[in-house]
Amino acid sequence: METLTEISAVIARHVSKDGFHATPIERVRLARSSTVTMPMPNVYRPQLCLVAQGQKEVTLGDHVFRYAPGRYGVVTYDLPAVGHVIEATPEKPYLCLFLDFDPVMLGELASRVLPPPGAPSLPIGKTVSDAGTSLLDAVLRLLRLLDDPAALPVLGPLAEQEILYRLLAGPDGARMRHITSSQGRVAQVGRAIAWIGQHFRERFSIERLAAEVGMSPSSVHEHFRAVTAMTPLQFQKQLRLQDARSLMLVEDIDITTAALRVGYESPSQFSREYRRHFGEPPARDIARLRASPGLAVVA
């Protein structure tokens, strides 16, 4: 596809090294990897992710999403997931664009765009779809502004609005609207996700979470799982394990200290759950990450 080829060329021109790269466009980041990478956890924020070249996989709960060239993903909540590049070479690296959603711009557009018919009322908070011609054209118009800095302040917001419009008017329209929702089950689940994100180091019960967001325990369990593909306690566990891994890697603290800091009372339980989640005991996993930093890129 000619448009996708040009998108890849623009990204490649602006990112010559592996990793994530900020751009002059406020909410746009570009990613590159010249090799496959190991599965890495991350909290994915509300955003659009479009793969232009190479392939990656992202696992959310028991759902596995595969991105190939011309496929895009939409995330509508802060969700802990695991991603890795599965196809990339130095000659043909993985290239990707990330656009963080501006909730104000999105809310204003959502009020003027009719929702698509037959949309599910509570869809999962992440999906992957094939990008149509209109969306790819809009992304290319935005990326071209990287080579036209004089026009960027004027045309950048218009190009970004066009991308959001294409998403709102397309099959992900209902999912996009949930970002700006302030009422109903969607908003309550969003508040539950945010509450756990702030309190994941603390012990809590489903009953307490339900009271915090104004739902019954059975309802919060059902609807939370529908959106995140996890129970609230599984969600909390992923956040704890990701946080502990980051602490050990960045702050060079020991396993027991990391376990206690993120809320575990038993270092042995922490080590068991860490191994199940990451595939290696904590010490071996951290040593592997330090020995091969190029394989530890978050996809």
pLDDT one-digit tens code per residue, 21-49: 999 999 999 999 999 998 888 889 999 99
pLDDT band of residue 119 (cuts 50, 70, 90) is low
The rounded distance, in Å, linking the Cα atoms of 229 and 254 is 31
User: What is the tally of structural domains in the chain?
Assistant: 3
The CATH number linked to 246 is 1.10.10.60
46, 118: one domain: yes
Mean pLDDT is lowest, of 109-123, 192-206, 255-269, for: 109-123
What pLDDT sits at residue 184? 66
45, 158: one domain: yes
The H or E element spanning position 286 is helix 282-291
DSSP character for 231?
-
Q: What is the mean pLDDT of the chain?
A: 90
137, 252: one domain: no
Q: Tell me: pLDDT of 185 over 80.
A: no
240, 223: one domain: no
- What 3-state class would DSSP assign to 9? helix
Question: Which residues span the domain enclosing 210?
Answer: 181-229
Q: Tell me: pLDDT of 111 over 90.
A: no
Q: Tell me: pLDDT of 95 over 80.
A: yes
At 282, phi and psi to the nearest 5? -55, -50
pLDDT band of residue 289 (cuts 50, 70, 90) is confident
211, 120: one domain: no
Whole-angstrom distance between the N-terminal and C-terminal Cα of the chain?
23
55, 201: one domain: no
pLDDT band of residue 183 (cuts 50, 70, 90) is low
280, 138: one domain: no
15, 107: one domain: yes
* Whole-number percent of the chain with pLDDT over 70: 94
